[in-house]
């Protein structure tokens, strides 16, 4: 998978109309953007095309409109924020059909360096099915295509893949390039020792990731809710802890696979237990730490214990590459965030290349204030998981190779 895609740095966009697929799927409350990280993250790619003298036509989805256009999913607030950040008016083409009269006129009137934002691509039913005529209509606006939305790269949609049937001049933007460099190379070509840390609730979500990473890494660490299915597979009592009984044989297979391949598979040696899941999630909760072999039948494991924190932190110390996906416990609760904080701290203090694979682990690292200590925080939850599984992502696959 040593991917070598054409990037925006390989192309001069002077005088060209460039359709750029970004990830502007930002959280909104009453029409106000509550976090604009995804917008600021897109600026370097947009500015590169502008500075070349290209005409930038931006597109993105936002939320999940059910039956075509829904006003609450309009990208209008994004156009306003982009205009502020770029110090230049971004023309918003408010067409329910996305490529309508407003879009066509706005594009026809563009001067070099201008920016137009199209309406939410999911206002068109065809988008998620990757169907015509939407791909053709999108492509008709531009000479070149730039893919910079890693969070949508695992989906073959009109705006991530379909357009490339009609636009041959394709490249990845800076955000995509960074994801390919870090996530792709970490898995395919890691500097060793390579330690992978998996957490989160369900084994089922990570089946292929566990299997693929066991082949690539030197040490695989398993924490979070999914660890209890492994502990049960070892024959231990796990009480009321989260368990997927249908995956016990799979966990046994994975432990055997690790042994066969000579890989270290680390499971919690102790666990933080309580009477049950906190409700609400951040409510005060009484806990104690017990050995992983001694979970009482009427208690639930909710975080890794103190010895496990040390064990996992030690495994990270000597690593040269670390990939982490999924929290170690119910990190939304201050009492049950200790395991996740310990792992984040260990990663913050290591000299290794540290890669956070999107989703909850990215949220945890940002929330806990460790973001600037990580080499790379992936912008895509589902996309980064599929990448770690070793899958080919359609939104990357369609971009021209160097």
CATH number for position 291: 3.40.50.1260
- Residue 393 forms part of a structural domain: no
pTM, full prediction: 0.87
163 and 234 assigned to the same domain:
no
162 and 197 assigned to the same domain:
no
Domain that holds residue 53: 8-175
pLDDT, residue 381, reads 77
Which two structure tokens, joined as six digits, stand for 115? 């920016």
Report whether 358 belongs to an annotated binding site: yes
- Which residue pairs from 274-279 have beta carbons closer than 8 angstroms and sit at least 24 positions apart in sequence? 274/299, 274/300, 274/302, 274/336, 275/299, 275/300, 276/240, 276/300, 277/302, 277/330, 278/302, 278/330, 278/333, 278/335, 278/336
Which two structure tokens, joined as six digits, stand for 395? 């939104």
Q: Find all residues with CB under 8 Å of 201, minimum gap 6, and list them.
A: 224, 225, 226, 242
- Residue 21 forms part of a structural domain: yes
222 and 150 assigned to the same domain:
no
248 and 220 assigned to the same domain:
yes
Q: Report the catalytic residues.
A: 38, 202, 359, 382
R_g of the chain, CA atoms, integer Å:
23
pLDDT, residue 91, reads 98
- Residue 353 to residue 320: CA distance in whole angstroms: 6
- Residue 1 forms part of a structural domain: no
Q: How many structural domains comprise the chain?
A: 2
Q: Exposed (0-12), middle (13-18) or buried (19+): which is 390, by Cβ within 10 Å?
A: middle
The list of the chain residues with pLDDT below 70 reads 1-2
User: Is-contact 113 14, C-beta < 8 A?
Assistant: no
For 46-78, write each residue's pLDDT tens digit.
999 999 999 999 999 999 998 889 999 999 999
pLDDT, residue 1, reads 44
- Residue 155 to residue 150: CA distance in whole angstroms: 10
Closest CA to 107 of 120, 119, 123, 118: 118
- Residue 133 forms part of a structural domain: yes
- Residue 77 forms part of a structural domain: yes
286 and 171 assigned to the same domain:
no
- Residue 5 to residue 320: CA distance in whole angstroms: 26
pLDDT, residue 2, reads 52
Among residues 145, 175, 205, which one ends one of the domains? 175
Which two structure tokens, joined as six digits, stand for 168? 């041959």
Among residues 112, 146, 175, which one ends one of the domains? 175
- Residue 305 forms part of a structural domain: yes
150 and 208 assigned to the same domain:
no
- Residue 120 to residue 128: CA distance in whole angstroms: 12
Report whether 63 belongs to an annotated binding site: yes
142 and 266 assigned to the same domain:
no
Report whether 360 belongs to an annotated binding site: yes
Report whether 95 belongs to an annotated binding site: no
219 and 356 assigned to the same domain:
yes
210 and 357 assigned to the same domain:
yes
Among residues 141, 158, 175, which one ends one of the domains? 175
pLDDT, residue 31, reads 87
Q: For residue 6, count other CB atoms closer than 10 A to its CB.
A: 16
167 and 208 assigned to the same domain:
no
214 and 335 assigned to the same domain:
yes
234 and 190 assigned to the same domain:
yes
For 174-231, write each residue's pLDDT tens digit.
999 999 999 888 888 899 999 999 999 888 888 889 999 999 999 999 999 999 999 9
What is the SS3 assignment for 246?
Answer: helix
- Residue 78 forms part of a structural domain: yes
Residue 401 DSSP label: B
* Interstrand relation of 270-274 and 55-59 (parallel, antiparallel or unpaired): unpaired
Report whether 25 belongs to an annotated binding site: yes
């Amino acid at each position: 998978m040593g991917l070598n895609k054409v990037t925006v740095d390989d192309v001069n966009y002077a005088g060209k109309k460039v359709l750029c697929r970004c990830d502007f799927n930002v959280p909104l409350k009453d029409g106000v953007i509550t976090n604009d990280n995804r917008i600021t993250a897109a600026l370097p790619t947009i500015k590169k095309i502008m500075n070349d003298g290209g005409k930038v036509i931006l597109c993105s989805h936002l939320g999940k409109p059910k039956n075509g256009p829904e006003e609450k999913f309009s990208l209008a607030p994004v156009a306003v924020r982009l205009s502020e950040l770029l110090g230049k008016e971004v023309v918003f083409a408010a067409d329910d059909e996305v490529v309508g009269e407003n879009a066509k006129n706005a594009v026809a009137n563009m001067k070099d360096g201008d920016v137009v934002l199209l309406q939410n691509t999911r206002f068109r039913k065809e988008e998620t099915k990757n169907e015509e005529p939407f791909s053709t209509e999108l492509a008709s606006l531009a000479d070149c295509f730039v893919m910079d939305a890693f969070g949508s790269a695992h989906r073959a949609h009109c705006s991530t893949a379909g357009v490339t049937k009609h636009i041959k001049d394709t490249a990845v933007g800076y955000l995509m390039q960074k994801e390919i460099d870090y996530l792709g190379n970490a898995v395919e070509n890691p500097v060793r020792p390579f330690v992978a840390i998996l957490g989160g609730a369900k084994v089922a979500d990570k089946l292929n990731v566990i299997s693929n990473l066991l082949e690539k890494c030197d040490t695989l660490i398993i924490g979070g809710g999914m660890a209890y299915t492994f502990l049960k597979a070892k024959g231990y009592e796990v009480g009321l802890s989260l368990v997927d009984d249908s995956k016990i044989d799979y966990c046994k297979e994975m432990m055997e696979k690790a042994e066969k391949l000579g890989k270290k598979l680390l499971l919690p040696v102790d666990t933080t237990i309580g009477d049950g899941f906190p409700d609400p999630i951040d409510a005060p909760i009484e806990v104690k730490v017990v050995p992983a072999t001694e979970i009482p039948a009427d208690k639930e494991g909710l975080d890794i214990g103190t010895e496990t924190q040390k064990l996992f932190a030690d495994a990270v110390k000597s690593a040269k590459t670390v990939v982490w996906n999924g929290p170690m416990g119910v990190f939304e609760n201050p009492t049950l965030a200790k395991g996740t904080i310990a792992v984040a701290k260990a990663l913050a203090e290591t000299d290794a290349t540290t890669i956070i694979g999107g989703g909850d682990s990215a949220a945890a690292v940002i929330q806990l204030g460790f973001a600037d200590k990580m080499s790379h925080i992936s912008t895509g939850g589902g996309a980064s998981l599929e990448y770690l599984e070793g899958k080919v992502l359609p939104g990357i696959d369609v971009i021209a190779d160097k």
